[in-house]
Chains A and B, each alone.
Chain A
Amino acid sequence: MSTSQAIPISHTASKSGDRILRYTLAERVNHWIAGLSYVYCLITGLAFWSPYIYWMAALAGGGPTARFWHPWLGLVFTASTLWMYKLWRRDMAITDVDLAWKKAMPHYIRNEDDKLPPIGRFNYGQKIFFWVMFYGAILLLLSGIGLWFVESIPGSLRWLRYLAVAVHVGTALVTIGAFIIHVYMGTAMVRGGFTSIIRGEVSAAWAKMHHRLWYEQVTKEKSSQK
């Protein structure tokens, strides 16, 4: 599943050739289920993380309510991440092009995008973020089940209780780090990225600048369909 198989946007837009479908409706819905459920787990999880931010539980209806819903929204997040895997796993495979781009990443950080090799639908950073969140979701699910049903772990296996705590906390911190960068890049740094994950479209110039190989692929397919 990718936008290359998707129907082009609107007739007026395709006529002028300036808007390209980057994310299908299913991809956008999926992204926002994952995003919102993650943010819920983030807020409630941070409340349980430190007494100094326990007040965050109030944003989710108070401590007991936050505690009740945190694991359920965690399940929603895991399910949406698995769906995302189904949608994007092929697009997220790391290729030789990505490795060349990775070497040139300092240019990307310094906004010297003209010095970067052309890449496909997602860049190396996006792919790493995807895989961090995918494996993170699996680890958070497994350790979260241990925390959810901690009393079902017999005392003789109490090392499993400690393992669940350690894995859940460690994985959560890694995903939070990735999440901070993701939100910053998606909203502030890469202009046009945030609107693309809401309405699905980017301009041709945007596609050419950030994902030239993907741009060439989708425009070629579109013109060959005519």
Chain B
Amino acid sequence: MSQATLEIVKISGHAGPVPGEGVKRAEQVCKLIDTTTCIGCKACEVACLEWNGYTFSETTFNNSYQTMPETAWNYWNLIKFNEHEREDGTLMLLMRKDQCMHCADPGCLAACPADGAIVQYSNGIVDFQQQNCIGCGYCVSGCPFDIPKFNSQTKKMFKCTLCADRVTEGLEPACIKACPTGCLHFGTKDDMKDLAENRAQQLREHFGFEQAGVYDPPGVGGTGVIYVLHDATNPEAYGDLPKDPHIPWVVRLWKGPVKWLGNLAMMGGIIGVTLHYLRFGPKQVDDKKDSDKNGKGGRQ
């Protein structure tokens, strides 16, 4: 929220140029989540609430470690627990820290109609600006990860900021700070990719996870949050992590060709009726010419 104007490279619902677009080259920041060393302690959840000033939400019990079904407007970071049966019949408890993925090509921002309600900074962080949010929920339709959440009291949308306020000051996000196992890392995208690929290679070569790999989906231009997965071919097993996320094509059409075709059609309609009037003019009823005996001519 406190970033300078020139740090902003993308603005939602914005007519005209974007001040920071192409102005400076900044390091892309990235959070790396190694699901293979996560122990599901939820320290990241506590740290997130602490730093952002929220209190614990009510929990539900569904015979698992899952404390609530999904993130909420005031609960941006949630570990998803998934029991996964492997082919050899053994059971794995998969734990994935779920939060905003900070897509390079953000669907929320593409769908948003409110000028400046969603921005992307030059370091890659996608941030909601609640003072500009109108609460329409289009970002919910645009997001392939189901992340933006609505506060029905204030009629504003909320999500993880990647601790943009901390990162601006040179600090790591609160969740990273709290992680006791070191499964969370923070740094530049390049460094995190290296680290993640090394770890995946280690898992493949020394731990028998032949399908281990890095989740950095190209469909959304890569993400500012990447995962190391035991089985990168099956991200769905980690609780609704889409295999090939991309901005929905309906949203792409709606914000692209349909908008311009629709605008042309509306302009064409207005121009068309104007031309009709200039060519043919109005339909006048000439009361005096009326020879029918039933009427003696009316006033117009």
Chain A interface residues (CB < 8 Å from chain B): 16-19, 47-52, 54, 57, 63-64, 66-68, 109-111, 113, 147-148, 150-151, 155, 158, 161-166, 169, 173, 176-177, 180-181, 184, 188-192, 202-206, 208-210, 219
Which of the segments B191-199, B212-220, B226-234, B292-300 contacts the partner chain? B292-300
A176 proximity list for chain B (CB < 8 A): 266, 269
> Which residue on A lies nearest to B295, using beta carbons?
A204
Contact of A155 among B240, B254, B298 (CB under 8 A): B240
Say what secondary structure dominates the interface of chain A. helix
User: CB distance B137 to A151 under 8 Å?
Assistant: yes
A52 proximity list for chain B (CB < 8 A): 15
24 contacts between A and B (CB under 8 A): A18-B295, A18-B296, A49-B113, A50-B259, A63-B132, A67-B134, A109-B280, A111-B281, A147-B137, A147-B138, A150-B140, A155-B146, A155-B240, A158-B248, A161-B141, A166-B253, A169-B262, A189-B282, A191-B285, A192-B285, A203-B298, A204-B295, A204-B297, A209-B283
B266 proximity list for chain A (CB < 8 A): 173, 176-177, 180
Which of the segments B44-52, B181-189, B270-278 contacts the partner chain? B270-278
B135 at the interface (CB under 8 A from A): yes
**C-beta contact mask, B132-173 vs A, less than 8 Å → 1, else 0?**
111111101100001001100001000000000000000000
Instruction: Report the bound CA distance from A54 to B113 in whole Å.
Output: 8
User: CB distance A17 to B294 under 8 Å?
Assistant: yes
A-B contacts besides A202-B298, A204-B298, 5 pairs, CB < 8 Å: A17-B294, A67-B136, A147-B138, A162-B250, A205-B290
Chain B interface residues (CB < 8 Å from chain A): 13-15, 113-115, 132-138, 140-141, 146, 149-150, 155, 240, 248, 250-251, 253-254, 258-259, 262-263, 265-266, 269-270, 273, 276-277, 280-287, 290, 292, 294-300
User: CB distance A54 to B265 under 8 Å?
Assistant: no
A67 proximity list for chain B (CB < 8 A): 134-136, 155
Known contacts A166-B250, A173-B262; A51 and B15 CB within 8 A of each other: yes
A204 proximity list for chain B (CB < 8 A): 290, 292, 294-298
Instruction: Report the bound CA distance from A57 to B115 in whole Å.
Output: 11
A190 proximity list for chain B (CB < 8 A): 282-283
B297 proximity list for chain A (CB < 8 A): 18, 203-205
> Which residue on B lies nearest to A168, using beta carbons?
B254
B240 proximity list for chain A (CB < 8 A): 155
User: CB distance A162 to B141 under 8 Å?
Assistant: yes
Least CB distance, B276 to chain A, in whole angstroms? 7
B146 proximity list for chain A (CB < 8 A): 155, 158
A184 proximity list for chain B (CB < 8 A): 273, 276-277
> Which residue on A lies nearest to B152, using beta carbons?
A151
Most buried by A among B141, B269, B277: B141
Instruction: Report the bound CA distance from A190 to B297 in whole Å.
Output: 18
Least CB distance, B297 to chain A, in whole angstroms? 6
